[in-house]
A = this chain, B = another copy of it.
Amino acid sequence: MASAQIVDVTARDGFQNIADWIPTDVKTAVLDQLVAAGVKRLEATSFVSPKAVPQLADASKIVNHMATRHPDVETHVLAPNLRGARDAVQAGAGRINYVISVSREHNRANINRTHEESLRDLASIIDALPKPEITVSLATVFGCPFAGRVPTADTVALAEKVASLGVRSVILADTIGVANPRQVRGVLRDFRAALPQLAVRLHLHDTHGMGLANMLAAMEEGFFAFETATGGLGGCPFAPGAAGNTATEDAVNMLHRMGIDTGINLAALLEVVKTLRENLAVPLPGRFSVARGFQEFCFYDV
């Protein structure tokens, strides 16, 4: 049976833009429920400055929780610089994500760095901390709010520099949800031709409703690793009410219906959605959980 790999990013990408403080025990409850639902890989938090992202000020506690309670789960944490990466490792993190935007304009706006500065930072993390596995998330691969079109050649050139530092896995992110299926196929084909040695995950936002269509396009090119957020949390902070990440439950539902295994129990995942709905005062744009009542009225096993 075919299978896909889901990395649930609810606790990092999903939570980071929520203004109201989410108590640490709600966060760990969500993580526990995700693991109980069969999620084997997740992004748990980010070691950013608590001034910049107060919501994730409990990053060390979260990593400690994952390391002690769920040592078998592949726990990823984001770190924007060497200091964050050091703190992450000290807290017990074994996998660190580091973000660079392919668009220089976006890299400047997002993390106030040139590409050269970002690559220097990345090299310093790799030098200082040889132990954690580093994945580099390449942002704005499919379009940039400032630069518009982003040539695939730019993505490949940046990924080549990243790979030359020893990084073996990257995330190609549609940061603002503007990718279309034809573009996804083209970018992935070119990317694999240039850098066949890199493991690739896709981070496809659902801002314009194309999240699942883009996921389908990626699978048709042979890419089966995706980052999603339960409830469809997170994503774009600029448009209130707009969809953010592709919802984990929407993705799992589609994959299972297509006969593609994820190892995740969809009913248990809906319990996570319920917890999010009960504890967060933000809309959950995912489709499947809203239609669930109808779904039960109807049938599930197509």
Contacts and interface: CB of A to CB of B under 8 A. Distances in A.
A298 interface: yes
Contacts of A211: 209
A291 B212 contact: no
A234 interface: no
A302 interface: yes
A302 B149 contact: yes
Given A207-B291, A259-B182, A297-B238, A148 B302 contact: yes
A145 interface: yes
Interface of A: 142-146, 148-149, 176-178, 180-183, 206-213, 215-217, 220, 236, 238-239, 241-243, 247, 250, 253-254, 257-259, 286-288, 290-295, 297-299, 301-302
27 contacts: A142-B302, A144-B298, A145-B294, A145-B297, A145-B299, A146-B298, A149-B299, A178-B298, A180-B254, A183-B258, A206-B209, A208-B253, A209-B211, A209-B254, A209-B286, A209-B287, A209-B288, A212-B213, A216-B216, A216-B217, A236-B291, A236-B294, A238-B297, A239-B291, A239-B295, A242-B287, A242-B294
